[in-house]
A and B are shown apart, each in its own frame.
Chain A
Amino acid sequence: MATEQLPPIPPVVAPRELAVDGEAAKGTPPTTTGIPGRERGERIRTAIAYAVMFLVAALFAIPFLWSVSTSFRTLADTVAGFSLLPKHWTLSGYHEAFHTFNFGRYTLNSAIIAAAITISNLLLASLGGYAFARLKFPGREVLFFLVLGTLMIPDQLRLVPIYLMLVNWLPGWVGHLGLHDVSFVNRNGVILIQLVSATSLFLMRQYFLTIPRDLEEAAKLDGAGYFKTYRKVMLPLAGPALAAVAILQFQGAWNGLFWPAILLQDQSQYTIPIGIANFRFAYQTLWPPLMAASVLAIVPILVLFILFQRYFVAGVASAGVKG
């Protein structure tokens, strides 16, 4: 098959597998307590592993806890020598972030962009994924290969052409549809160029492939068309994959920096990350509101992560490693 020559595909685990066995670690080395004389060594090993894990977890947590602590401080408190907790707890950091520095607006912008990208990914990737998994049409393999090939095209190569397309061409095209003076060097552009990703489509297709065909056959016998089968039979069964796509896309769009940095030039359109970037250069050491804004950027993703951990893992590779 054509996919043989592909670049290494991220090790996307079928979301259902994750949903079913969750954290069950199939390859975990067995404990060797059955062998005499091993027990003590084993216990020491376990103790060391625990110690290392707690230490590392603490190290990992400190920056986040420190920023939370600072977000509740007064500015004077941040330069008044070391203290673990704020000397005077205050919400003024958050108040300033929201009211003086416009982060309320930025949060709304981030939410709008992330929601739009998530919804359109769910829609387009499930439609396309269903067709690639189930419907037979000439050129299917080639087209799917093309979709996966887009994973090899770095954003940096697309920067200039896409910017010029958004500035020069798209307003004209949309003008033909009767929508005049629509700009794409703003939120519209950020959403438009992320409407669907190859990863979303791939995840959906792989999941649809695991659904038994009997159900569709039954729907067909009942006289259901392809779209009805997709909507009434396949979509309701694809919950875990849809969840994985939604979470991945939301997280990616919420944290996104590259395209917003290029396309969001008007302050009223800034997202939280862009707001933070500009705040940093303008106000340098105004730590409490900056930390409040950072907490604001992190908390929604943290909540999602705690609620839906397994789905994050399902699509981990897709996000790749963006520096």
Chain B
Amino acid sequence: MAVAVGKRRQARGLGSERAREALVGYGFIALPMAFFLLFFIFPVGYAFYISRYDWQIFKGDFVGWGNYRQLWHDTVFWHHAVRNTLVYTVFVVPLQMTLGLTLAVVVNQAIRFRTFFRAAFYFPSLAASAAIASIATYILASDGLFNTVLNHLGYHHNNAWFGEQSTALPSIIGLNAWTTSGTMMLFYLASLQAIPVDVYEAAAIDGAGAWRTFWKVTFPLLKPGHFFVLVVSIIGALQMFDQAFLIGGASGGPNYSTMTVVLYLYNQSIKNISFGYGAAIGVVLFVFIFTVTVVQRLLFGKAEVA
């Protein structure tokens, strides 16, 4: 049987064999491609389409740029969602990068238990955000572990850190700098290990100390790594949702202090059932993130980590 098939195949020649291979190829990618087209590519256009309608539960009138105009004048969006997201980004990104780089440099030393430390530092990035957020709420509660420690140190703070308008967002910034630092560490570790060993040897022969070697040799050579981590951090920060949702709830409490752009998008679409308006927020956020990526690429050149 196999012989017969083989002969027939040969008889049909190279051309049909190629056609067969192509056909099989299309068959293999058919399901994944259909999935990507339906649930990724198509929704981009559909989102824009929806955003041009007054779409509540059912599709309503065509309103052109109406939703975008409304968004332009939406004070909750600008004064709370956008403002909080930007504040969050401006603070959390440098924190994440500094922490990530520090951890990476430390665990990159030729040192015992290196694997264990890497694992320990990376694990918070893997744990469920819901679990981390509830643990944080518990520790930062009014009578929680953190305040207990502070009181022992002579600094009296008796409010829940997530419960007050002035401390809620900064607490989330601290929390997320911690949980994401492990991921940043791994990114930096990858680019640290891409630095050739002889560069360090040359620095050592020149008599440069560890501190000087880091700032004069390692840090500048990490430029592609910095760029990559920066882009990833900023995009991640602009999309912050989990902690705001878990800690402040869908309304971003207390008093909108934890309202972020994505939470507002969720709030408008799912809670308020304003699909047209929600879609418009999604489009604006997408355009913004896209622009950030493009601008960063123009400023910093191509990321070479990949």
Which residues of A line the B interface, CB within 8 A?
7-13, 23, 25-32, 35, 41, 45-46, 49-50, 52-53, 56-57, 60-61, 63-64, 66-67, 70, 79, 82, 124-125, 127-128, 130-132, 135-138, 140, 143, 146-147, 149-150, 152-165, 193, 195-196, 198, 201, 222-223, 225-227, 230, 251, 254-255, 257-258, 261-262, 272-274, 276-277, 280-281, 285, 287, 290-291, 293-295, 297-298, 301-302, 305-306, 309, 312-313, 316-317, 319-323
Contacts and interface: CB of A to CB of B under 8 A. Distances in A.
Contacts of B113: 53
B2 interface: yes
Contacts, number: 339
B103 A136 contact: no
B131 A153 contact: no
A29 B110 contact: yes
B201 to A, nearest CB: 6
Contacts of B40: 150, 153, 158
7 contacts: A136-B25, A159-B269, A162-B43, A262-B270, A280-B133, A319-B183, A321-B180
A8 B306 contact: yes
A30 B233 CA distance: 30
Contact of B242 (A251, A262, A323): A323
Contact of B123 (A153, A285, A305): A305
A226 B29 CA distance: 13
B99 to A, nearest CB: 9
From A12, A66, A127, A154, name the one whose CB has the most chain B CB atoms within 10 angstroms. A154
A230 B24 CA distance: 11
Given A27-B192, A29-B200, A135-B24, A57 B183 contact: no
Contact of B190 (A11, A143, A164): A11
Contacts of B201: 30
Given A45-B210, A161-B47, A285-B141, A128 B32 contact: yes
A8 B24 contact: no
B119 A309 contact: yes
A301 B128 contact: yes
Interface string B235-274: 1110111110110010000000000001001100110000
Interface in B78-95: none
A158 B286 CA distance: 10
A323 B32 CA distance: 28
B233 to A, nearest CB: 6
A44 to B, nearest CB: 10
Contacts of B71: none
Given A57-B120, A316-B187, 9 more contacts: A29-B200, A67-B131, A82-B148, A130-B28, A153-B41, A156-B241, A156-B282, A258-B241, A276-B134
A165 B44 CA distance: 13
Contact of A7 (B26, B178, B180, B293): B293
Contacts of A28: 108-110, 193, 197
A47 B12 CA distance: 72
Contact of B25 (A29, A140, A156, A222): A140
